[in-house]
């Protein structure tokens, strides 16, 4: 009789242990933001570019774009965040910035936010084009001065 009691308890324990208590939701890898080089760099403007690695994440579930600042720690009031509205078939995105001060170094990085967690790409930098002044020669006999100034691409 005792053996039957222990056998019943063992079967009951196996029943509860064997119940499926797993979550059937598929595991999705974290998204990744990739910071790419800037394009169209000028005196007052630039176009930042980046791409996403999403693996089964829908566009509606994420926010993405760039952070940029003159502070390489991105902690000061100079830090700005711009959100991109869309990406192309290769998950690449870009956004132009205008009205930047000339001759200024900026730091930037791509970001993607998914489920209230933000993932950042590599920090890169660019410097807007400044005015370049080159002095030339002074000819004391003719009282002429040669010089030139370059104003960048804008």
CA–CA dist 3, 100 (Å, integer): 84
Examine the pLDDT at 60 and tell me if it is beyond 90: no
Q: What is the pLDDT of residue 1?
A: 64
Tokens 């308890």 -> residue: 9
Tell me the CATH class for 32-133: mainly beta
Average pLDDT of the residues of the chain? 83
Q: What is the pLDDT of residue 21?
A: 55
Q: Are the C-beta atoms of residues 40 and 126 closer than 8 Å to each other? A: no
Q: Does the predicted model carry a pTM greater than 0.75?
A: no
Across residues 126-140, what is the average pLDDT? 74
Q: What is the pLDDT of residue 58?
A: 82
Phi, psi of 91, rounded to the nearest 5 degrees: 65, 25
């Amino acid at each position: 009789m005792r053996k039957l009691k222990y056998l019943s308890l063992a079967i009951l324990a196996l029943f509860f242990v064997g119940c499926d208590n797993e979550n059937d939701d598929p595991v999705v890898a974290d998204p990744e933001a990739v910071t790419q080089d800037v394009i169209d760099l000028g005196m007052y403007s630039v176009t930042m570019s980046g791409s996403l690695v999403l693996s089964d994440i829908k566009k509606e579930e994420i926010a993405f774009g760039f952070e940029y600042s003159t502070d390489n720690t991105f902690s000061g009031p100079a830090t700005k965040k711009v959100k991109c509205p869309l990406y192309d078939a290769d998950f690449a995105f870009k956004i132009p910035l205008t009205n930047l001060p000339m001759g200024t170094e900026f730091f930037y990085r791509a970001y993607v936010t998914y489920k209230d967690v933000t993932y950042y790409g590599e920090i890169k930098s660019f410097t807007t084009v400044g005015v370049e002044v080159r002095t030339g020669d002074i000819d004391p006999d003719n009282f002429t001065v040669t010089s030139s100034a370059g104003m960048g691409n804008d």
